């Protein structure tokens, strides 16, 4: 069709081109005679230099020349002129995330040839095919296929001419995915791949990795149909576009130009003898030779930090207490699961298990500025329904629901309520997303089939009744949620959150965990005059950074124009705790020392303080509670000058949870003697945690 194209010549618009066609000027030879009857293409020295170049480019198949001089909307003309040089390409992957997923298969066809590249195999044939191709055709390759291929082969160079059928089809009124367009134009797939959807491809790959060779055949047949379907779509798009642009029928490409280049597909199941040769387009099927294990295993994690005595809980939460949520207690590698309905049942199980961390698969915070989960929130339009973590996952290609779409509102409300209860019991609680964790660990999601998810967890190194007794998908996701606790505890995690939105925790296998494991953050609790500030000052002399809850409260009082007296500090402290902001206050206190290798946080007064500091610092957080006899506390208190009496200060509501806080402490030390004895009693507790 290029011989009939003039839009690449200087000064010729599409309208001018159509006018030339109407006048019967259909070829370059016609155009040359039209411009100067004395000159013909057979004579030397054409008037239009671009026309001369065009003739040469056509003869030498210089496709890039035409791609450089024609609008991308007209590139189909180039492909139609050189149909045997066009490469149709489609990939299959483990999922949709360029960030976490990988290519499993690349299929391509040029003319009547079809070939594939399988993950972990030699890519030489594929790279050679790309190098030789003069034009490329994909369906959504711009946003998907080519990005994945560039990620796998960093130095690959694609042909300049790339026709993305997703966008070409849209220009001629064919909308939807490839399968929907195929149905519209009447393309019929093979029986072996009929009805398969894109989400089936990762499942077939998982089946093949585990020994099912027929699954690989189905995956290849599915890919082959994708490639052949693109040929039919391109033919249809060209005809529709020619009709839309009023291109004369006599210069339009043939109706079945690419469809007639049908590439057959054959399979070879057994190794060939030395004298045998493969039939054209024959794919040899052999067992998977790559690694089927997850990206990391429990044993490797256990060498980073001992986990065998580490107890955590994972919950795959549902919105209603009338339905069953998945619940897992994970002790080291041993997982016990059950299905639980009410929050009260969960809290009882958690109290009995005494986990260090609880991981909940549910949103545990609101988008910045929101005050309610429901659409009646006056900030709904201004602040939206999506948090940073959900937007970031979407950017990475991991599907997740906005936390405040109508179908998620009740789940978010329940998750936040349950997390709040746990934190006020002093139990660190993090938000997880099992699907994302499974993607990162290369463990098949439940959509691939529960047996594959079970096997993935087994290969990871987990044990428990779930390996021999059928359990629900909710319980398997609860196991994965609990696994996120392990990654959090050893420091191999990433926080997706902001200062105003609590983070979603996902595994990060590349994260350096040395600082996380070897830093030391001391949290001090105890009654008034027990010696918290005295100990903090002593540790400051040893190079510890220090911060106090009362310092932040003093700042808030100052902003209100109030002085930091004992009564004012207790009053504002109670206001913050009563309004549900204590967890946020603890995070603000922790922010003051977030980069310190060793630090002291003075003044834990509520169990939620303990929970928050555990969530922020993990195993680096060491909680020391200082005990002191009432008589000594009274004598020390008498020496202080306060605006309220000791009795009033000690009985204030803000001081009433000290004993609950004491029960959560890692260590309890006595400060009934002299300071030297007191300081000496602390040193053995912190010695092993200090950075070497």
From 2.70.50.60, 3.30.420.10, 3.10.129.10, 3.90.1150.10, which CATH number describes the 83-284 domain?
3.30.420.10
Q: DSSP labels for 174-200? A: --S-HHHHHHHHT----TTTTT--TTH
Q: What are phi and psi of 88, to 5 degrees?
A: -95, 135
Report DSSP state, residue 560.
T
Contacts 24+ apart (CB under 8 A), 446-455: 446/473, 446/476, 446/477, 447/199, 447/203, 448/202, 448/203, 448/206, 449/203, 449/206, 450/476, 452/203, 452/206, 452/207, 452/210, 455/210
In the structure encoding, which two tokens stand for residue 8, read together? 């690449």
Q: Cα-flanking dihedrals φ and ψ of residue 592, to 5°?
A: -65, -25
Average pLDDT over residues 297-304: 93
Lowest mean pLDDT among 21-35, 145-159, 345-359, 558-572: 21-35
3 state DSSP class of 423: helix
DSSP 217-279: HHHHHHHHHHHHHHHHHHHHHHHHHHHHTT--GGGSPPTTTTTTSPPP-EEE-SPPPTT--PP
Distance (Å, whole) CA 403 – CA 389: 10
Identify the pLDDT of residue 193.
Answer: 64
Average pLDDT estimate for 462-466: 97
Mean pLDDT of the chain: 90
β pairing state of 86-93 and 428-432: unpaired
Average pLDDT over residues 558-584: 93
User: How does residue 38 score in pLDDT terms, banded at 50, 70 and 90?
Assistant: very low
Question: Among 256-265, 418-427, 432-441, which range has the highest average pLDDT?
Answer: 418-427
Strand bridging mode 325-331 / 334-340: antiparallel
Q: What share of the chain is helix, strand, coil (3-state, %, to 5)?
A: 45, 15, 40
Looking at the predicted structure, is the pLDDT value of residue 43 above 90?
no
Q: Decide if 162 contacts 78 (C-beta within 8 A).
A: no
Mean pLDDT throughout 430-436?
95
**What are the tens digits of pLDDT across the range 256-293?**
999 999 999 988 876 545 544 456 778 889 998 887 78
Assigned CATH for 514-687: 3.40.50.300
- Rg of the chain over Cα atoms, rounded to whole angstroms, equals 34
Average of per-residue pLDDT across 509-516:
81
Q: Provide the pLDDT confidence category of residue 691 given band limits of 50, 70 and 90.
A: very low
pLDDT of residue 408: 97
313: tokens are 């809980």
- The half-sphere exposure of 608 on its side-chain side, counting CA atoms within 13 A, is 19
Q: Quote the percentage of the chain above a pLDDT of 70.
A: 94
Strands of 490-607 (E only): list them.
493-498, 501-507, 520-526, 545-548, 598-604
For residue 552, give every residue at least 6 positions away whose Cβ sits within 8 Å of its Cβ, in sequence order, or none. Answer: 585, 588, 589, 592
Q: Compute the average pLDDT of residues 417-440.
A: 95
Give the fold, CATH level 3, of 298-507.
Nucleotidyltransferase; domain 5 (3.30.420)
Instruction: Give residue 29's pLDDT.
Output: 86
Would you say 331 and 302 are in contact if contact means Cβ atoms under 8 Å apart?
A: no
Residues 136-165 have a mean pLDDT of 96
Counted residue by residue, the chain has a size of 692
All residues at 6 or more sequence positions from 316 whose CB lies less than 8 Å from its CB, including other chains: 325, 326, 327, 361, 434, 474, 475, 477, 478, 481
- The pLDDT of residue 36 is 59
pLDDT tens-digit series, residues 480-512: 999 999 999 999 999 999 988 999 999 999 887
Tally: H helices and E strands in the chain = 29, 19
Give DSSP secondary structure letters for 111-124: TTEEEEEETTS--H
Over range 652-656, report the average pLDDT.
89
pLDDT for res 486: 97
CA distance 430 to 428: 7
Give the sheet arrangement for strand 311-316, strand by strand.
334-340, 325-331, 311-316, 357-361, 428-432, 501-507, 493-498
Question: CB neighbours of 226 closer than 8 A, spacing ≥ 6?
Answer: 90, 107, 139, 178
Q: Which residue has the tokens 């009693």?
A: 681
Instruction: Evaluate if residue 40 carries a pLDDT over 60.
Output: no
More reliable by pLDDT, 360 or 646: 360
Percentage of the chain with pLDDT > 90?
72
Position 451 scores a pLDDT of: 86
């Amino acid at each position: 069709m290029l011989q009939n194209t003039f839009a690449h010549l200087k000064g010729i618009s599409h309208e001018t081109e159509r006018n030339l066609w109407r006048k019967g000027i259909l070829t370059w030879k016609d155009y040359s005679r039209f411009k100067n009857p004395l000159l013909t293409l057979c004579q030397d020295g054409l008037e239009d230099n671009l026309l001369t170049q065009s003739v040469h480019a056509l003869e030498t198949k210089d496709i890039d020349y035409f791609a450089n001089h024609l609008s991308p909307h007209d590139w189909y003309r180039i492909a139609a002129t050189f149909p045997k040089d066009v490469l149709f390409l489609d990939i299959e992957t483990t999922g949709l995330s360029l960030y976490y997923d990988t290519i499993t298969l690349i299929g391509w066809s040029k003319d009547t040839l079809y070939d594939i590249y399988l993950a972990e195999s030699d890519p030489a044939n594929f790279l050679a095919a790309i190098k030789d191709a003069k034009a490329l055709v994909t369906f959504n390759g711009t946003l998907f296929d080519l990005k994945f291929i560039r990620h796998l082969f960093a130095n690959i160079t694609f042909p300049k001419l790339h026709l993305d059928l997703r966008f070409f089809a849209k220009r001629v009124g064919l909308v939807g995915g490839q399968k929907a367009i195929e149905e519209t134009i009447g393309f019929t797939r093979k029986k072996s791949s009929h009805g398969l959807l894109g989400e089936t491809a990762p499942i077939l790959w998982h089946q093949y990795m585990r020994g099912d060779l027929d699954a690989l055949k189905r995956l290849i047949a599915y890919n082959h149909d994708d490639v052949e379907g693109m040929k039919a779509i391109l033919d249809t798009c060209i005809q529709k576009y020619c009709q839309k642009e009023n291109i004369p029928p006599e210069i339009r490409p043939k109706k079945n130009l690419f469809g007639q280049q049908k590439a057959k597909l054959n399979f070879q199941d057994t190794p060939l003898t030395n004298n045998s040769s493969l039939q054209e387009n024959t794919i040899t099927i052999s067992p998977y030779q790559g690694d089927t294990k997850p990206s990391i295993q429990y044993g490797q994690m256990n060498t980073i930090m001992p986990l065998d005595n580490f107890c955590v809980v994972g919950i795959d939460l549902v919105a209603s207490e009338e339905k069953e949520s998945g619940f897992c207690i994970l002790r080291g590698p041993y997982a016990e699961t059950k299905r639980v309905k009410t929050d009260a049942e969960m809290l009882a199980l958690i109290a009995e298990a005494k986990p260090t961390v609880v991981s909940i698969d549910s949103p545990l915070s609101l988008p910045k500025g929101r005050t309610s989960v429901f659409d009646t929130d006056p900030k709904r339009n201004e602040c939206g329904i999506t948090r940073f973590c959900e937007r970031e996952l979407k950017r990475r290609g991991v599907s997740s629901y906005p936390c405040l779409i109508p179908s998620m509102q009740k789940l978010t409300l329940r998750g936040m309520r349950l997390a709040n209860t746990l934190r006020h019991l002093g139990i660190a609680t993090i938000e997880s997303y099992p699907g994302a964790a499974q993607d990162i660990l290369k463990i098949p999601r439940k959509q691939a089939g529960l047996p594959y998810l079970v096997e993935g967890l087994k290969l990871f190194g987990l044990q428990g009744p779930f390996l021999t007794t059928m359990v629900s998908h909710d319980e398997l996701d609860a196991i994965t949620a609990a696994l996120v606790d392990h990654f959090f505890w050893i420091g191999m995690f990433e926080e997706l959150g902001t200062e105003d939105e609590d983070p979603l925790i996902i595994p990060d296998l590349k994260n350096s965990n040395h600082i996380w494991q070897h830093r030391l953050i001391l949290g001090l609790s105890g009654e008034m005059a027990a010696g918290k500030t005295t100990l903090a000052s002593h540790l400051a002399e040893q190079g510890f950074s220090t911060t106090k809850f009362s310092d932040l409260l003093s700042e808030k009082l100052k902003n209100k124009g109030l002085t930091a007296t004992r009564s004012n500090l207790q009053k504002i402290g109670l206001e913050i705790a009563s309004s549900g902001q204590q967890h946020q206050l603890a995070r603000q206190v922790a922010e003051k020392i977030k980069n310190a290798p060793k630090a002291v946080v003075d003044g834990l007064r509520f169990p939620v303080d303990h929970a928050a500091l555990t969530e922020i610092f993990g195993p680096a957080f060491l909680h020391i509670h200082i005990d002191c006899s009432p008589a000594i506390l009274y004598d020390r208190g008498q020496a202080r000058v306060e605006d309220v009496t000791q009795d009033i200060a000690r009985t204030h509501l803000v001081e009433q949870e000290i004993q609950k806080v004491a029960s959560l402490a890692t260590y309890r030390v006595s400060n009934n003697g002299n300071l030297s004895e007191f300081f000496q009693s602390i040193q053995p507790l912190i010695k092993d945690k200090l950075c070497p």
